[in-house]
């Protein structure tokens, strides 16, 4: 604490009065003070008086010939250095011999360099001109950091965001839907809502913690790039033991809306019918989807139609494009993609159903499959049709 020169402890006064006094001509004396009633000077003339409080022999050293009541007569030792001796002070002086009460302390942790970041015009000072510059820029936005103001930047969408209240990232302040919405289970699809494979874009949907294609496969190549056998006659289709694909009645509109039809040999081809990291779901993986939609575990292994309204949940609605007669509340977007017959005919069948292969065989020439029926609310599990039949295919992302 800085020394207060107006305050002298009582003990110090007593000590000084006991050891020294001053005579009439300003000469301090040393030795015992012996009052004689006549205010005689002390018996031993001494050293000159010092009235400089910051001298080496000033008041910081008790009774060292400092006397503020007398004119200085050359008794001060001025060889000492006065300064701030507090290391926490901004002006700490490591060479000071004694504290002179001049310490200055910081009132803020903010450095001058931090403060100068507010120097908008770069003149080395923060003043009213910088404030006026700030006001002129108030409200300017550049969200993508390209130094183009967002209101005139074609790469920035003002008010854009997810406007679907059912999405995980719904933004109530957004006025324009930018397609960024994602939904429960988003992580199962690695944050993707669609996937491009073999030149076709597929919407994705999550059931439980599994990521499925929400569209029928349209690919004409295996995942390694090899072309899938196609353009087979009815006889060739009914008898081949190679993987093959066909477009129902060779209708390009049908292809665009409802995908291709694949025999089971293509499903099981080691070159992969689905993209790398994906596969055609097994019978049990289809059951897992059906359980998510509400078919009881005790019923899911039954053959034939099962459940209550799971077929309705999986079929596209009349409002969808392309439409069907379901509700599509699951997002599966099932379609009446029809099928191509196996032996002996090998031709395209005209029915109102959607047929889907699983990757699980059930015999030497049969495999498990699913049927969404035009006239039923349920979903059928069957294993009675030949592996040369041409059905629709969905893809399922591999588990980690």
Q: Classify residue 173: in a domain, yes or no.
A: no
Answer whether 261's CB lies under 8 Å from 372's CB: no
- Where a domain ends, among 107, 135, 168? 107
DSSP bridge pairs for 244: 229
* 334: nearest Cα among 315, 358, 353: 315
Q: Residue 123 domain-assigned?
A: no
Decide if 187 is inside a domain: no
| Within-domain flag for 117 | no
The residue from 63, 80, 107 where one domain ends is 107
Residues 82 and 220 in one domain: no
Residue 375 Cα distances to 328, 380, 391, angstroms:
15, 12, 19
Per-residue DSSP letters for 136-202?
A: HHTT---TTSSSS-GGG-TT--TTEE---TTSTT--TT-SEE-S----TTGGGGTT-SEEEETTEEE
> Looking at the domain assignment, is residue 148 inside a domain?
no
In the sheet where 278-279 sits, what is the strand order? 194-197, 200-207, 210-213, 396-397, 278-279
- Which of 107, 131, 156 is the last residue before a domain boundary? 107
Find the largest Cα–Cα distance for the chain: 150
Q: What share of the chain is helix, strand, coil (3-state, %, to 5)?
A: 15, 20, 65
Query: In degrees, to the nearest 5, what angle opens at C-alpha 35 toward C-alphas 31 and 39?
Result: 110
Instruction: Establish if 347 belongs to a structural domain.
Output: yes
Say if 350 falls within a structural domain.
yes
* CB of 22 closer than 8 Å to CB of 49: yes
Domain count, the chain: 2
Written as tens digits, the pLDDT of the chain (400 aa) is 443 444 333 333 333 333 334 343 333 333 333 333 333 333 334 445 555 565 665 554 433 444 455 444 455 666 677 788 888 888 898 888 777 788 888 665 556 666 667 777 777 777 767 767 766 666 667 666 677 776 677 677 778 889 998 888 889 988 888 888 877 666 789 888 899 999 999 999 999 889 999 999 999 999 999 999 999 999 999 999 999 999 998 999 999 999 999 999 999 999 999 999 999 999 999 999 999 999 999 999 999 999 999 999 999 999 999 999 999 999 999 999 999 999 999 999 988 899 999 999 999 999 999 999 999 999 999 999 999 999 999 999 998 7
Q: Domain limits at 4?
A: 1-107
The rounded distance, in Å, linking the Cα atoms of 327 and 288 is: 20
Task: Kindly state whether residues 240 and 386 are assigned to the same domain.
Answer: yes
Residue 169 is assigned to a structural domain of this protein: no
Contact 332, 352 (CB under 8 A): no
393 to 60, 336, 338, 351, 356: CA distances (angstroms): 98, 12, 12, 17, 6
């Amino acid at each position: 604490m800085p020394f207060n020169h107006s305050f002298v402890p009582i003990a110090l006064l007593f000590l000084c009065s006991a050891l020294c006094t001053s005579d009439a001509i300003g000469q301090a004396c040393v030795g015992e003070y012996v009052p004689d009633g006549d205010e005689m000077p002390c018996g031993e003339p001494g050293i000159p008086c010092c009235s400089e409080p910051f001298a080496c022999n000033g008041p910081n050293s008790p009774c060292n010939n400092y006397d503020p009541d007398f004119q200085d007569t050359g008794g001060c030792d001025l060889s000492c250095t006065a300064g701030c001796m507090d290391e926490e002070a901004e002006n700490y002086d490591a060479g000071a011999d004694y504290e002179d009460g001049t310490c200055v302390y910081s009132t803020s942790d903010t450095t001058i360099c931090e403060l100068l970041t507010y120097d908008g015009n770069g003149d080395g000072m923060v003043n009213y001109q910088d404030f006026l510059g700030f006001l002129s820029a108030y409200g300017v936005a550049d969200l993508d950091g390209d130094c183009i103001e967002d209101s005139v930047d074609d790469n920035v969408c003002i008010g854009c965001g997810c406007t679907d209240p059912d999405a995980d990232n719904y933004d109530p302040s957004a006025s324009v839907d930018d397609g960024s919405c994602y939904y429960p289970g988003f992580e199962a699809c690695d944050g993707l809502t669609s996937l491009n494979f073999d030149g076709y874009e597929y919407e994705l949907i999550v059931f439980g913690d599994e990521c499925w294609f929400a569209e029928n496969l349209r690919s004409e190549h295996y995942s390694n790039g090899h072309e899938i056998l196609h353009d087979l006659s009815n006889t060739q289709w009914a008898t081949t033991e190679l993987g093959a694909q066909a477009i129902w009645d060779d209708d390009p509109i049908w292809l665009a809306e409802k995908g291709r039809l694949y025999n089971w040999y293509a499903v099981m081809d080691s070159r992969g019918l689905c993209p790398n990291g994906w596969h055609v779901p097994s019978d049990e993986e289809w059951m897992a989807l059906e359980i998510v939609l509400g078919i009881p575990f005790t019923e899911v292994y039954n053959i034939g139609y099962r459940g209550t309204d799971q077929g309705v949940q999986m079929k596209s609605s009349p409002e969808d494009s392309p439409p069907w007669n379901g509700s599509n509340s699951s997002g599966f977007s099932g379609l009446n993609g029809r099928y191509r017959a196996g032996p002996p005919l090998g031709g395209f069948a005209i029915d109102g159903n959607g047929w889907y292969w699983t990757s699980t065989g059930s015999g030497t020439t049969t495999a498990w499959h699913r049927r969404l029926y035009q006239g039923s609310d349920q979903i059928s599990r069957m294993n009675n049709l030949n592996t040369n039949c041409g059905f629709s295919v969905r893809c399922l992302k591999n588990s980690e």
